[in-house]
A and B are shown apart, each in its own frame.
Chain A
Amino acid sequence: MSKSALAYVVSLILLGGAVVLGVTVGTVPISPAVIWNPSSDEAAANILWNIRMPRVVLAGLVGAALAIAGAAFQGLLKNPLADPYTLGVSSGAAVGAVMTLFFGISIPFLGLFTLPVISMIGALITMLAVMGFARLVDRSMKMETVILTGIIFSSFLGSIMSLMIALTGEELRQIIGWLLGSVSMRGWPYVQMALPFVLVGSFVLWLYRRELNAMLFGEERAQHLGVDVKKSKMAILIGGSVLTGSAVAVSGTIGFVGLVVPHMTRLVWGSDHRHVLPLSFINGAALLIVCDLVARTIISPTELPIGVITAFIGAPVFAFIFFRQRRGGL
């Protein structure tokens, strides 16, 4: 079996394992047999299919979306520290989402999709602003410059959110809980809300897998190799924003997934985007399902926000990558 085939098999097995664990472990333990044979235990099947499964699927979608978006942003910016969270794109999406909730915006023909679409627009605007500002500061867009710009933007956007939350009053708790990131109590409608965008966004990024490979060597080199840099860049930015926006709209800001997963994937399987993108997608889903499982079981019956778990893993990984980039050569 070739190395890449092995990578897919291993990743899919991990994902499968995560799903099974995600739906069976909890305050009410459920036998895995219930998955194939719901009639054996009606009550358990009810919990499994109506509470746990949508939660697991949603966590998987969000993890997949953030991970593949992170991988694409890193390739586009040649920056291993880039991810929707560190770039401030998640905050942009969150502002879009909070605004939608705060003002009760509902665009008629979008209906259910109003929330993710406005989040996506927030994400895209933020991404463009961050890149524009970073380029103004430093034409070569050094790693640190981009990340610092991301921090500036997320602080600013964070304060806007705090302001809006302070003004809401009664819905305060709900929005704060949402902000910290969670996939609990969302149910199938949220899955429906996110699914089309996650699929479309991921497909767009996957179409640009070869362009991303070329762009890792710099935009100029990519152009020499025949890449239409402007078009590819825009497509990747839009694809990444669609993914980030839809993920944030259904789960709030969950940090570092887009950083950790592509990094681990590259470490094990190399940095060819033809594989990094789909593998990040699968592994991102598995990771977030496991994180969510930990978040709801570690201090059961109380649930931790899932963002706490991802940050707990992600921040040290961030520090490690930063250290390696600066001190360990490449």
Chain B
Amino acid sequence: MILEELRLINFRLHTNTKLKFSDKINYIVGGNGQGKTSILEAIYYICTSKGLNQNNDSEAVNFNSNSFEIKGVFSDLTKNESRLFYSAENKKKVLYLDEKQVFRISEFIGKFPVVTITQSDHEITAGSPAERRKFVDSVISQASNTYLKTLVDYNKILKNRAALLNQIKETGRKDYIDELDSWNESLINNGTYLLKNRNQFVEEFKLYLDNAYKNILDENEKPGIEYKTLCSSIETEEIKNIFQKKLAEIKKEEIIRGVNLIGPHRDDFIFYINNLEIKKYGSQGQNKTFQVALRFGEFFYLKDKLGKTPVFLMDDVFGELDTQRSERISSFLNKTGQTFITMTDFTRFGELYKSSEDKLIYVKKGEVSYA
């Protein structure tokens, strides 16, 4: 899938920017605060309807305007146009696919797959378990609509169940216990589906992670990933039984504390390099390399699952990597698909692989020019 054109109207610094892209690598170059990352953000918006890093939509509106619009033309087997309009006045975001309004965003996710490498990826290896769950959930959700829906339902059940546990804690009413049992059943049904799919995902993803290290990053390091959860089975009945048993064991404690104590929302994923846990023993460089490997893994995983090549967005990725790794990544990108890379440090451009098909785009104060 290729993003051919992009148009930004009153989006951050870009009052009216029109861009045409190469279907290989697009280097977006400019100083700090000139509107480079805004271009990546706009691409992310029309692929997912959301901004990067969970920014508030209203922050993306140009200071002299009260709405923004992004339009992108994608070509795959067919040509599709995605258009997003946001009005800060009534805080309304409307998404159009080929000029038809999209009412269910969940059905839109995965249509234009996108993979990003940004500074906030740091949280995936170094941050809390929630960040790792978010990464895994977002990858599986892009590939499976049913997973996304189940996840949304599961979170709704968690909220209800937490409210009920709190009510039991406060009132001490015994008749609420029967209600809790019913919520447990819903929790187990939905949670088992998530757990099973995450187990399957981790098994498959190992291979993609291995390949990313072997082919792109560093063949001397061996990556590993482990899913820490209730049970490692992929048999629905087996997971259900264990889930049920553990839930019964912890019932008293859950009531005393008034919180959901077990389930996929408490799990963690452990990352290893040469059998050592990265979070504890990894260097800065190893962390960064692992984050990049996760994203390359995501890229090829989605490509295989969706049968579509995602758009790859890289925000200032070479800043923290050494010359050798930067070179290897950029020469490999030739084989991936359409990529967008922002760069501040133009002096390092010489290290990177350039082909005649690549495009160099300068951005200055929201205005673009081509080399």
Q: Does A associate with B in a complex?
A: no
Using a CB–CB cutoff of 8 Å, the interface residues on chain B facing chain A are none
Using a CB–CB cutoff of 8 Å, the interface residues on chain A facing chain B are none
